Amino acid sequence: MLQNESAIVTGAGSGIGREVSYRFARSGAKLLLLDKDKTRVEQTAAELLAQGAEAEAMATDVLSYEQLCDAADRAESLYGKIDIWCNCAGVSTMNHVWDLTEEEWDFNMDVNAKGVFLCVKVAAAHMMPRRYGRIVSIASIASLQSDPLLAHYCASKWAVLGFSKTAAYELAKYGITVNCVCPGTVATEMQAREMQWSAHLQGIDPDQVYQNWVTGTPIGILTQPSDVAQAVEFLARRENRMITGIALPVTGGAEL
């Protein structure tokens, strides 16, 4: 349980971030929800408030150090502390290596890798004086293996994993754990877009892409956002003090 824990969740307006927010709220956490999309993150907060949770939303760009500092200050003003920081904001595009543009590379590396770096930097500054914290970042199965059409995305998620492992080592003496959750193919809006892109780039039907994903998952079904949120909550718990620097696959065995 996360009773009375204070948590910041980025990318809380949709997908995994939204589901993590719901999971945290059910476990008793007090939430500050961040997303670049003001309308969607406010909707998430409103739904949680209607269910009796403590939650506030802030339109925040994870590439703005100043906005992240403002968010951290707001969380401390609301709840007096930051116990948990979960990095769920992320993007993807798909292309062959030979057709990748600098814009696609920069877009993925900026949001997925630089965004995590800035968030961890801000989170650590607030957690270190209290000598306690739980930082969890959403990496990907693409941080554990190659993934055709996603070379730039893989690069960004491998960066998240490498950065997080080193951050875990450096922050351990302050009582702060830093971990990654690595989802496989998750049934979200992002994956729905990727199914269409992949079909176009491979010259096959979207239904075949979906079937290939299912076939490539030994358990035989795609990962749900709730599966990922459950893993995030586990790593965010206070009692899990000896788990740090890990990459926890939530893939149904797709990386085996």
Terminal-to-terminal C-alpha distance of the chain: 31
Distance CA 214, CA 79 (A): 42
Catalytic residue among 153, 169, 174, 210: 153
Is residue 18 within 8 Å of 34, Cβ to Cβ?
A: no
Distance CA 85, CA 37 (A): 19
Is 79 considered catalytic here?
Answer: no
Distance CA 253, CA 73 (A): 40
Is residue 55 within 8 Å of 31, Cβ to Cβ?
A: yes
Of 137, 155, 133, whose CA–CA distance to 240 is shortest? 133
List of residues 6+ apart from 76 with CB closer than 8 A: 82, 126
Q: Nearest 5°: CA angle at 191, between 185 and 196?
A: 125
Q: Nearest 5°: CA angle at 11, between 86 and 65?
A: 75
Is residue 125 within 8 Å of 119, Cβ to Cβ?
A: no
Sign of the Cα torsion 49, 54, 58, 64 reads negative
Structural tokens at position 75: 């969380």
Active site amino acids: 153
